[in-house]
Amino acid sequence: MKKFMNEAGSLAADSLDGFVGAHDDLVAFGQDRKHVRRRVLSPGKVAIIAGGGAGHEPMHVGFIGKGMLDAACTGHVFTSPTPDQILGAIRETDNGAGVLLIVKNYDGDLMNFEMAAEMAVSDGGHRIETLIVNDDIAVERTARGTGRRGVAGTLVVEKIVGAAAEAGLDLFSLKAVGESAIAATRTMGVALKGATVPQTTRETFVLGETEMEVGVGIHGEPGRSRQDIADAATIASLICRQILDDLEPAQGQRILLFVNGLGATPPSELYLMFGLARRFFEAHGLVVCRKLVGTYATSLDMAGMSITVTLLDDASLGLWDAPVHSAALHW
Amino acid sequence: MKKFMNEAGSLAADSLDGFVGAHDDLVAFGQDRKHVRRRVLSPGKVAIIAGGGAGHEPMHVGFIGKGMLDAACTGHVFTSPTPDQILGAIRETDNGAGVLLIVKNYDGDLMNFEMAAEMAVSDGGHRIETLIVNDDIAVERTARGTGRRGVAGTLVVEKIVGAAAEAGLDLFSLKAVGESAIAATRTMGVALKGATVPQTTRETFVLGETEMEVGVGIHGEPGRSRQDIADAATIASLICRQILDDLEPAQGQRILLFVNGLGATPPSELYLMFGLARRFFEAHGLVVCRKLVGTYATSLDMAGMSITVTLLDDASLGLWDAPVHSAALHW
């Protein structure tokens, strides 16, 4: 394992320290450095808080700022933040309009965010609602278990909900906006190399020289299948086809197409995949009217990428286009 | 070798196609797809053109836009664009105010940009000036050979010169602004894993499991030394010390600190290195008043990062802060 780090145990905290130092015009540490929040909160609006394990940077701290998140709580690598951390963020950002928590669909995150919400309601009288993002179509929808994971599509939900909150929507309306965005969003990823977890110094999975993992999760969860590596056009078709089959969009439907790097895949390859995915969806009658390409939701140093599609209507298009000023997204 | 690509020979072109498709609100292909330029040129200003081999994305195409470049010419992977390509970009962007070429200091680039400039002057009557960026302190200044290479600091030069051009400076004034920015800028990089060149399917250099290459170039040129890998704080001190010794800044000097990913190093590690570099320079009496962290000047899928410092004065600070709207830099 080769990483730029001091000790395995301090990688997450050291990285967060660097992040806050690099963007101290936008963000600040909350109390005891347990969360990161906007330097200046907007009065009167619902607070939007997200969080999860470290190792997915810039998600979520990179999305803190006007038009997106108010705060984010980061745990250790691939480990949920504690209820205590989340409660602190709620207390520091709720100005009376309530708090919307955006949670990726993992057992640990669900449990800790739910516990924090209960404490905030019972002890502090906060009004709390929760959105659970589950955009990863690699996992089948089943009656048992947690179901589909939350992955890169979480960015889209945070952007749309954040814009709606900035526009002054109330807590319940925001929850409805978020649920629509979640219902309209699907993601699938593929890895060429597993992530190396600093504490164990081992890869989450080891692929052979000619293998790829299709449908991989952002913690190195196994995907749908391990296959021989193919050319980029074949990989793009494989993933885009799954998304299309799951979303079943109408002809002429407008979409946001988002190609996300998982950590160790360079921009040149992400752009190449974007071009192929765009052609695929256009050939299938969709209108790619918004685009995003970059490394936004990572799995440490995993080599790979994911493709996210969100169906857009006039409302969500307007919210996507609304100004955002965070470290990782800015327009 | 594992990459998202179709054929080795088409990686650069396929990637560029994806880039232009993803950012078609900002950029368009020039004639015969030989260069990329702003979708809408600003009348009356000096045209700023950069270029070089592919494999360094988002440099330079990601810097095309208002406040930065007017056009960029990309060659094959790690190969200079041809004089023909550069001449085409000059013809399509010069509106009478002249053209400033920004060239990284490599033999192939120097030769082809010089040839294009000569053709543009003699055949087309264009007024051309050239800036040669040589920020890489890993190479000693010597009387023989090409000397110091142009690496990530090229971004800083392009941003400062681009802002000055947008403000209406004439060609000769812009060249002076650029030369000041070059004189104020130093970079040094370190690699944990070499880049894999698609055509050869081999790494540019192969490091052992516990080795790092200090002072690496962006084409996998050998660095100053191959050393045992160290913790991040040691690596940061090692590089920052070299930069400090080379720049010899005054106490209280304001600097821009830029930590750049070389392709396969994730944001979490880049932010960690930024935090350490910032502390180093602050402990040595400098004022880190502007910051940039991200993957901007890559070497394909090389794992590693570089640290760039630019000494700032009121003029360059104002130019750095001026609005920019490109695919990779936007404020």
**pLDDT tens digits, A30-78:** 999 999 999 999 889 999 999 999 999 999 999 999 999 999 999 999 9
Hey, what are B199's tokens? 């055509």
| pLDDT band (50, 70, 90) for residue A144 | low
Fold of B185-311: Hypothetical Protein Tm841; Chain: A;domain 3 (3.30.1180)
State the DSSP code for B6: S
| pLDDT band (50, 70, 90) for residue B7 | very high
Tell me the angle at which helices B11-22 and A267-283 cross, rounded to the nearest 10 degrees.
Answer: 70
- Average pLDDT of chain A? 96
Shortest Cα–Cα distance, A4 to chain B (Å): 5
Q: In this prediction, what percent of chain B has a pLDDT beyond 70? A: 98
Report the pLDDT value the prediction gives residue B317, as an integer from 0 to 100. 98
Per-residue pLDDT of B32-87, as tens digits, reads 999 999 999 988 999 999 999 999 999 999 999 999 999 999 999 999 999 999 99
Contacts of B268 in chain A (CB under 8 A): 11-12, 15, 54-55, 57, 298, 300
Contacts of B298 in chain A (CB under 8 A): 266-268
Report the pLDDT value the prediction gives residue B314, as an integer from 0 to 100. 98
What is the arithmetic mean of pLDDT over A1-9?
Answer: 94
Residue A275 to residue A312: CA distance in whole angstroms: 20
What is the arithmetic mean of pLDDT over A158-167?
Answer: 98
Report the pLDDT value the prediction gives residue A142, as an integer from 0 to 100. 64
What is the arithmetic mean of pLDDT over B229-253?
Answer: 97
- A12-183 and A185-311, same CATH topology: no
Residue ranges per structural domain of chain B: 10-184, 185-311
Q: A190 has which bridge partners?
A: A214, A305
Residue contact B271–A54, C-beta within 8 A: no
- In CATH, what number does B10-184 get? 3.40.50.10440
- Mapped onto helix, strand or coil, the DSSP state of residue B73 is strand
CB-CB neighbours of B200 under 10 Å: 11
| Residue A192 in this model has a pLDDT that exceeds 90 | yes
User: B210 with B185: CB under 8 angstroms?
Assistant: no
When mean pLDDT is compared across A132-136, A317-321, B141-145, the lowest value belongs to B141-145
Q: Which of B23, B35, B56, B76 is catalytic?
A: B56
- In CATH, what number does A12-183 get? 3.40.50.10440
Report the pLDDT value the prediction gives residue B146, as an integer from 0 to 100. 77
Shortest Cα–Cα distance, A128 to chain B (Å): 30
Residue B249 to residue A270: CA distance in whole angstroms: 39
What is the arithmetic mean of pLDDT over A189-209?
Answer: 91
ipTM reported for the complex, 2 dp: 0.97
- Average pLDDT of chain B? 96
B219 is a catalytic site residue? yes
Report the pLDDT value the prediction gives residue B222, as an integer from 0 to 100. 79
| pLDDT band (50, 70, 90) for residue B1 | confident
Which chain A residue shows the shortest CA-CA distance from B301? A266
List the single best residue of B268, B278, B296, B302 to mutate versus A (max A Cβ within 10 A): B268
Report the pLDDT value the prediction gives residue B144, as an integer from 0 to 100. 64
Report the pLDDT value the prediction gives residue B204, as an integer from 0 to 100. 86
When mean pLDDT is compared across A28-37, A266-275, B139-148, B240-249, the lowest value belongs to B139-148
What is the arithmetic mean of pLDDT over B280-291?
Answer: 98
Report the pLDDT value the prediction gives residue A143, as an integer from 0 to 100. 58
What is the arithmetic mean of pLDDT over A11-33?
Answer: 97
Q: Name residues whose C-beta falls within 8 Å of residue B125's C-beta, 6 or more positions apart in sequence.
A: none
List the single best residue of A36, A268, A276, A326 to mutate versus B (max B Cβ within 10 A): A268
CB-CB neighbours of A40 under 10 Å: 10
Tallying the residues shown for chain B, one arrives at 331
Phi, psi angles (nearest 5°) of residue A46: -65, 135
Phi, psi angles (nearest 5°) of residue B26: -110, -35
Q: In this prediction, what percent of chain A has a pLDDT beyond 90? A: 90
Residue contact B267–A57, C-beta within 8 A: yes
User: B83 with B119: CB under 8 angstroms?
Assistant: yes
